[in-house]
């Protein structure tokens, strides 16, 4: 299994168990297809330390249920304020991309400082860096910004709720007969961890 974490915060955002595809002309976004679920939870009949007393009435446990999108619930994502197209561009995505590019650049410099043993990895990271830098705006426009006209987005952050975190977008496409939500993640802002 692969866990996808936010590169800047380390928050776990999702795993490879969800239907996933790369979207955008340059495939800079990962689109996940979620589904609405209801999760039940209760303390259950936990019996630590022995048998229930015959004199005491049996304790009942309250069962609680939470409904939501499976990806959101399983990864403890938190819904945050809605943004207009302009606010999303100026207040969220531009500062996020700037921080992400600096962190990726720092990563490359660290590996270069370690010498020849990382030469191949450094070359690969530089190519990814350049490709993302040159193509992200086009994908942002075609996948997300044009969607602000047609779709309503919900916005989520990872568990840390950090200002540096990737802002995740979710929408319910009108043309999906099952009414399943789609979530969008910046591919370059993810770190894959194999477990």
Phi, psi of 100 (to 5 degrees): -65, -45
Q: Which of 96, 105, 104 is nearest to 168 (CA)?
A: 96
The answer to whether the CB of 77 falls within 8 A of the CB of 157 is yes
Distances (CA, A) of 83 to 6, 22, 120, 155: 21, 24, 41, 8
**Which has more confidence, 4 or 36?**
4
HSE-up of 123 (CA within 13 Å, CB side)?
4
Q: Which band of pLDDT confidence, cut at 50, 70 and 90, is reported for residue 46?
A: very low
* CATH number, residue 29: 2.170.150.10
Q: Which band of pLDDT confidence, cut at 50, 70 and 90, is reported for residue 62?
A: low
Q: Is residue 53 part of a domain?
A: no
Report helix, strand or coil for 173. Answer: coil
Q: Is residue 67 part of a domain?
A: no
Predicted pLDDT at 52: 55
Predicted confidence (pLDDT) at residue 164 exceeds the cutoff of 80: yes
Report the domain count for the chain: 1
Q: Is residue 12 part of a domain?
A: yes
Q: Is residue 16 part of a domain?
A: yes
Q: Is residue 60 part of a domain?
A: no
How many helices (DSSP H) and strands (DSSP E) are in the chain? 5, 11
Q: Is residue 82 part of a domain?
A: yes
Q: Is residue 48 part of a domain?
A: no
- In which domain, by residue range, is 9 found? 2-37+73-194
């Amino acid at each position: 299994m692969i866990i996808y974490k936010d590169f800047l915060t380390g928050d776990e955002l999702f795993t490879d168990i969800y239907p996933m595809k790369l979207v955008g002309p340059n495939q800079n976004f990962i689109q996940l297809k979620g589904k609405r679920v209801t999760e039940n939870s209760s303390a259950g009949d936990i019996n630590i330390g022995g048998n229930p007393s015959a004199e005491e009435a049996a304790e009942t446990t309250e069962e609680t249920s939470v409904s939501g999108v499976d990806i959101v619930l399983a990864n403890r994502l938190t819904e945050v304020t809605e943004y207009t197209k302009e606010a999303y561009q100026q207040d969220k995505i531009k500062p996020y991309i700037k921080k992400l590019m600096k962190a990726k650049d720092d990563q490359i410099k660290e590996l270069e400082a370690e010498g020849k043993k990382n030469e191949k990895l450094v070359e690969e990271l530089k190519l990814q860096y350049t490709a993302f830098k040159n193509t992200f705006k086009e994908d942002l426009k075609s996948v997300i910004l044009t969607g602000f006209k047609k779709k309503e987005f919900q916005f989520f952050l990872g568990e840390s709720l950090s200002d540096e975190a990737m802002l995740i977008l979710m929408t319910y496409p009108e043309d999906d007969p099952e009414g399943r939500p789609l979530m969008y993640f910046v591919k370059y802002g993810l770190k894959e961890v194999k477990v």
